[in-house]
Amino acid sequence: MKAILFDFGGTIDTDGVHWNEMFREYYDRHHLRIEKAAFDRAFVASERAVLAEPGIAAMDFRQLLTRQFTIQFGLLGLAGQEGLAERMAGECYDDVADTVAASRDLLGAFAKRYRLGVVSNFYGNLGPVCRGLGLDGLFGVLVDSAVEGIRKPDPAIFALALERLEVDAPEAWVVGDSYERDIVPGKTLGCSTIWLKGRSWTTPADTAAADFTITSLGAMKSIVMP
Ligand SMILES: [Mg+2]
């Protein structure tokens, strides 16, 4: 095996917590009680809206989170809460930075043995986000769906990363928290797959495409570096 392709959102940044759950956490912490269906609608709409933000391609993670919370606040009728969206974004960013810091040694060890890449349905700013988190030296390729015009679960986005790393599919691991978007296309291409099964808002009906299932990135070590 020569390469590891990682998902970013819900995988590297939160170690298995889906972003719907992640955002929700800060509303709960600040005692903002929002009905689940309304929150889910605002989450999906904010994900779509942020893609059209002016200047998105240069935003770092803190700026991105501030825009996402601010858009959600607007959709949830919370726009009058002065400064709260910024404060929640700051807390969220600090938690992400801690999670990434905890995984950095592990990723560094993998980088010594493998070519590493990220394949993400992102917003066009995967580069600035990874740089801001101190991850930029670890990955040989960052593939951002908004830059490439291909989105997961299309296997072509993984094929693009493999081509840029000059690795054939059977020589690569695909690691991600989404069974449908990461594991299924990875398996379709002929990669070996590691499903990070964390806290998610949905559960797949079958999981046969996952060669391994883990609940934290730390568990990868015994699989890819036995
Ligand atoms: Mg993900």
CATH number of 158's domain:
3.40.50.1000
Given pLDDT bands bounded at 50, 70 and 90, which one contains residue 201? Answer: low
Distance 80 CA to ligand 1 centre (A): 31
pLDDT at position 91 is 98
Whether 46 and 91 map to the same domain: the answer is yes
Whether 140 and 187 map to the same domain: the answer is yes
Q: pLDDT for 64-93, tens place per residue?
A: 999 999 999 999 999 888 899 999 999 999
Distance 181 CA to ligand 1 centre (A): 8
Whether 51 and 37 map to the same domain: the answer is yes
What's the mean pLDDT in 2-27? 96
Give the domain range for residue 197. Answer: 3-17+99-224
Distance 120 CA to ligand 1 centre (A): 7
Whether 108 and 74 map to the same domain: the answer is no
pLDDT at position 23 is 97
Structural domain ending residue among the three candidates 95, 129, 147:
95
Whether 194 and 208 map to the same domain: the answer is yes
Whether 148 and 185 map to the same domain: the answer is yes
Greater pLDDT, 198 or 160: 160
Sign of CA dihedral 111, 116, 122, 123: positive
Distance 9 CA to ligand 1 centre (A): 4
Whether 65 and 76 map to the same domain: the answer is yes
Distance 7 CA to ligand 1 centre (A): 6
Whether 175 and 141 map to the same domain: the answer is yes
pLDDT at position 204 is 85
Whether 118 and 54 map to the same domain: the answer is no
Q: CATH number of the domain that 64 lies in?
A: 1.10.150
Distance 101 CA to ligand 1 centre (A): 18
Structural domain ending residue among the three candidates 95, 127, 143:
95
Q: What is the mean pLDDT of the chain?
A: 96
What's the mean pLDDT in 40-67? 96
Number of domains the chain is built from: 2
67 φ, ψ to 5°? -65, -45
Whether 206 and 118 map to the same domain: the answer is yes
Distance 177 CA to ligand 1 centre (A): 5
Q: pLDDT for 128-165, tens place per residue?
A: 999 999 998 999 999 999 999 999 999 999 999 999 99
CA 220, CA 226: separation in Å to the nearest integer?
A: 9
Distance 178 CA to ligand 1 centre (A): 5
Place of tokens 């493998």: 114
Amino acid at 161: A
